[in-house]
Amino acid sequence: MLNEPTLKELQGVACRLRVETLKMLNLAKSGHTGGSLSVLDLLSVLFFHKMRHDPSNPAWEERDRFVLSKGHAAPALYACLAEAGYFPREDLRTLRRLGSHLQGHPDMNKTPGVEVCTGSLGQGLSQANGLAMAARLAGRKSRVYTVLGDGELQEGQVWEAAMAAAHYGLDNLCALVDHNGLQIDGEVAKVMNVAPVGPKFLAFGWHVLEVDGHDLQAIAQALDNAEETSGQPTMIIARTVKGKGVPFFEHKASYHGVPPSDDELGRALEHLGHS
């Protein structure tokens, strides 16, 4: 539960993260805009409210772990890591450049705060399972969070991992689906329907919650609920809007892998009150 000042602060953080994300994508001249904007409110609550982590000590053993399974939303993750202080904000301008520690998709060996390498869809949940198993074996209280895309649920490995997480009762694991309904080729429901997502995870033995993925309070409550759940992993299905926060990007599959032009950036920043 977020009190009013925290909520206000998080709203401010989320807005700043959107601005940073758009700026870095514009400079990089390539990258995934729509899915970075849709996932940002989830990341805001995770990184700046829920997760226990220490940017001054990224290797802190007891930290909570985060896996961005939908690795193409790397700009959103990098914006969070810079905001949290894992590296200087100026680094964001080097996104996707030769020699940059900010690769097109998250790289644990290059970027402080990135736990595993992701980007090839379908693999993050398995890695999150392993991290949750390791935390349990080591007697750590750390929790593991991962965010998947809804299109990503088309990958068979996700369901192998879903089976295993429930089988091993990984209640220190919380997965979230950024359910924006769009993928590169169009609507998820038309490309390869993944619905109904909730009942599928229920049938696989998960504790399932559905929230508005842009309602910070609802996200925070769902994450608290997940932490209180024992004996099974939790899946938070977050209904989101691709391109959220920039009206002319919203609900558009065409902005999946396209950065904002200079003109679009200007208009977007104006809308976000940061021109």
Partner 1 sequence: MIATRDAYGQTLVELGRENPKVVVLDADLSGSTKTAPFAKEFPGRFFNAGIAEANMVGMAAGLAAGGMVPFASTFAVFAAGRAFEQIRQSLAYPRMNVKVVATHGGITVGEDGGSHQSVEDLAIMRALPNMTVLCPADGPETAAAVRAAAAYDGPVYIRLGRSKVPVVFPQGIDYAIGRGQILRPGSDLTFVTTGLMTAQALEAAVILEAEGVAARVLHLGSIKPLDADLVLHAARETGALVTAEEHSVLGGLGGAVCELVSEGYPVPVERVGLRDVFGQSGTAEELLVHYGLTPGHLVEAAERVLRRKKGR
Taking the least distance from each CB to partner 1, the nearer of 26 and 172 is 172
- Identify whether 196 is preceded by a cis peptide bond (ω within 30 of 0): yes
- The DSSP annotation for 168-200 comes to TT-TTEEEEEEE-SEETTEEHHHHH----HHHH
Measured CA to CA, the distance from residue 47 to residue 217 in angstroms comes to 14
Q: State the sign of the Cα–Cα–Cα–Cα dihedral 246, 84, 61, 136.
A: negative
Residue 172 in contact with partner 1, rule: CB under 8 A: no
Taking the least distance from each CB to partner 1, the nearer of 32 and 65 is 65
Residue of the chain from 26, 33, 126, 183 that contacts partner 1 (CB under 8 A) = 126
Q: Would you call 211 helix, strand, or coil by DSSP? A: strand
Residue 111 in contact with partner 1, rule: CB under 8 A: no
Query: What is the total count of residues that contact partner 1 (CB under 8 A)?
Result: 33
Residue 211 in contact with partner 1, rule: CB under 8 A: no
Measured CA to CA, the distance from residue 125 to residue 65 in angstroms comes to 12
Angle at 134 between CA 132 and CA 140, to 5 degrees: 85
Taking the least distance from each CB to partner 1, the nearer of 115 and 150 is 115
Taking the least distance from each CB to partner 1, the nearer of 170 and 269 is 170
Residue 203 in contact with partner 1, rule: CB under 8 A: no
Residue of the chain from 18, 32, 65, 207 that contacts partner 1 (CB under 8 A) = 65
Q: Which residues pair with 67 in a beta bridge?
A: 146
Residue of the chain from 82, 131, 218, 223 that contacts partner 1 (CB under 8 A) = 131
Stretch that binds partner 1, among 90-98, 163-171, 223-231, 247-255 (CB under 8 A): 163-171
Nearest Cα neighbor of 253 from 189, 160, 162 is 189
Residue of the chain from 156, 230, 263, 273 that contacts partner 1 (CB under 8 A) = 156
Residue 116 in contact with partner 1, rule: CB under 8 A: yes
Residue 139 in contact with partner 1, rule: CB under 8 A: no
> 193's torsion region: left (phi>0), alpha (psi -120 to 50) or beta?
beta
Q: Could you list the residues that contact partner 1 (CB under 8 A)?
A: 61, 65, 107-109, 115-117, 119-120, 122-123, 125-135, 137-138, 156-157, 160-161, 163-164, 167-168
